[in-house]
Amino acid sequence: MRSDGIRRRPVKIVATILSGNSQSLVSDAIVSVRDYMDQLLLIDTGITDETVARAEAAAGEKLKVLTFPWCDDFAAARNFALNAASEFNANWALTIDTDERVNFSSLRTRDALIARLNQRDDTMAWMVAAADHSYAKERFIRVPTSLTWVGRTHEALIGASDQARELLDDVHFWETPKSAEQYRHKLERDLRILETETAKDPGDARWWYYLGQTLDGMGETERALEAYQSCARNEGWNEQLAWSSYCAAKCLTRMHRFRDAEEAAAYGLTIDAGFAELPWIAGWACYQRDALEQAVAWSNMAANMGEFAARSLRRPRVGFRFLPAWYEAPYDTLRHALRKLGEFQAADRAEKCFRRAKQLRLGGNITV
């Protein structure tokens, strides 16, 4: 009770889980968050197997099952789930999928989680990073909310400023691996949607990026390259545009077009000069075509941006990270390029930095 005598409604956290036939997955997803939740809403998008029964066994009385007829639109389903959480009087809605698991790490109790979520009154959404820190997703959303999910696939939550969207660094999540059949099904579903969206709105960079990612996953490198380049040349979120340039450079290296890969990386740096991945892959491409001095120059640039050489200058990023490029990968190129150039002492120093940077990335103690 507040000192002014006004009774506050207890904070309520509700998990929302979209689910089709997920009987082998749903229990572990629920168990990973159950003790922190007041209620769990299972959004049935077309379940015909034992998913509901297994969810009930895992969640007990906390579970409520709601029906959302599937319409090939993840944003619509997630907005339905957010509205449902509001109707169940939630203060915070957790978004989790059946193939995801959450680790609350140092937040050992529900009260500790609530204190963290309510740390600032102006936070509208808390991001949670993947366990490997490669990307983050909006997980906890303050409800009721003016924020909206958009996008039939690879949906994005819009409406929050950077200041109203914070990283909840006490919590991490991971995804269970998909079988080859499940992965192919996902890619084919996404391809169908994304080809429609890029044709309908070719000026939306994010559709091109996700089309490139989907085609990449299907092994269609040339078509993926075209999609990534279309993303990078559009207007949009600079972080995504620069990452698309990096993805285009990766495609080009697989096609052994190393000079073009260097140019794609350089183009990405004109969009966002804070990506260590871009000079790293430019240096690696130069090494592959035996342009050793260029390889050294690019790799030194990447190393100076990275977390090993410039940890105090770390630049936060929501996602889109290839962590070895921020640690040991530039030194890997350097140690080989310098040795080929006959600069053996410099190569030995690069070798030592390579080993120490890799230790740092993997969380080990750095040895001299």
What's the CATH code of the domain at 69?
3.90.550
Beta bridge partners, 93, equal: 14, 141
Instruction: Tell me, yes or no, whether 257 and 121 share the same domain.
Output: no
Tell me which amino acid residue 311 is. Answer: R
Q: Is 247 exposed, middle or buried (0-12, 13-18, 19+ CB in 10 A)?
A: buried
Q: Give the residue numbers spanning the domain of 116.
A: 13-175
Other Cβ atoms less than 10 A from the Cβ of 35: the count is 12
How far is residue 62's CA from residue 58's CA, in Å, rounded to a whole number? 9
Instruction: Tell me, yes or no, whether 168 and 242 share the same domain.
Output: no
* Both tokens assigned to 50: 């034992």
Task: Please check whether residue 17 lies inside any domain of the structure.
Answer: yes
Long-range contacts of 229-233 (CB under 8 A, 24+ apart): 229/264, 230/198, 230/202, 230/205, 231/205, 231/206, 232/205, 232/264, 232/267, 232/268, 232/271
Query: Residue 169 belongs to what H/E stretch?
Result: strand 165-175
Q: At what angle do helices 258-271 and 221-232 cross, to 10 degrees?
A: 30
Last residue of a domain, one of 175, 196, 211: 175
Tell me which amino acid residue 360 is. Answer: L
Instruction: Tell me, yes or no, whether 27 and 156 share the same domain.
Output: yes
Task: Please check whether residue 224 lies inside any domain of the structure.
Answer: no
Q: What is the dihedral of CA 299, 300, 305, 311, to 10 degrees?
A: 120
Last residue of a domain, one of 159, 175, 191: 175
Long-range contacts of 292-297 (CB under 8 A, 24+ apart): 292/337, 292/340, 292/341, 293/341, 294/262, 295/333, 295/334, 295/337, 296/334, 296/337, 296/338, 296/341
Please report the pLDDT score of residue 313 as a whole number: 52
How far is residue 114's CA from residue 37's CA, in Å, rounded to a whole number? 10
Other Cβ atoms less than 10 A from the Cβ of 119: the count is 11
Instruction: Tell me, yes or no, whether 21 and 169 share the same domain.
Output: yes
How far is residue 198's CA from residue 153's CA, in Å, rounded to a whole number? 12
CATH number of domain containing 297 = 1.25.40.10
Beta bridge partners, 150, equal: 156
The whole-chain average pLDDT of the chain stands at 93
Instruction: Tell me, yes or no, whether 255 and 167 share the same domain.
Output: no
How far is residue 93's CA from residue 142's CA, in Å, rounded to a whole number? 6
Task: Please check whether residue 184 lies inside any domain of the structure.
Answer: no
Task: Please check whether residue 222 lies inside any domain of the structure.
Answer: no
Q: Is 252 exposed, middle or buried (0-12, 13-18, 19+ CB in 10 A)?
A: buried
Instruction: Tell me, yes or no, whether 271 and 163 share the same domain.
Output: no
- Do 161 and 204 form a contact (C-beta atoms < 8 A)? no
Name the domain count of the chain.
2
How far is residue 344's CA from residue 338's CA, in Å, rounded to a whole number? 7
Instruction: Tell me, yes or no, whether 165 and 49 share the same domain.
Output: yes
Instruction: Tell me, yes or no, whether 49 and 149 share the same domain.
Output: yes
- Do 283 and 294 form a contact (C-beta atoms < 8 A)? yes
In 13-162, DSSP assigns E strands to 13-19, 39-44, 63-67, 92-97, 100-103, 125-130, 136-142, 148-150, 156-158
Instruction: Tell me, yes or no, whether 34 and 155 share the same domain.
Output: yes
Please report the pLDDT score of residue 319 as a whole number: 73
Please report the pLDDT score of residue 307 as a whole number: 85
Task: Please check whether residue 214 lies inside any domain of the structure.
Answer: no
Closest CA to 168 of 146, 190, 138, 147: 138
Task: Please check whether residue 167 lies inside any domain of the structure.
Answer: yes
Instruction: Tell me, yes or no, whether 297 and 171 share the same domain.
Output: no
Last residue of a domain, one of 125, 159, 175: 175
How far is residue 49's CA from residue 95's CA, in Å, rounded to a whole number? 22
Which residue stretches of the chain have pLDDT < 70? 1-8, 310-318, 364-368
Task: Please check whether residue 133 lies inside any domain of the structure.
Answer: yes
Instruction: Tell me, yes or no, whether 296 and 164 share the same domain.
Output: no
Beta bridge partners, 322, equal: none
Instruction: Tell me, yes or no, whether 152 and 250 share the same domain.
Output: no
* pTM of structure: 0.88
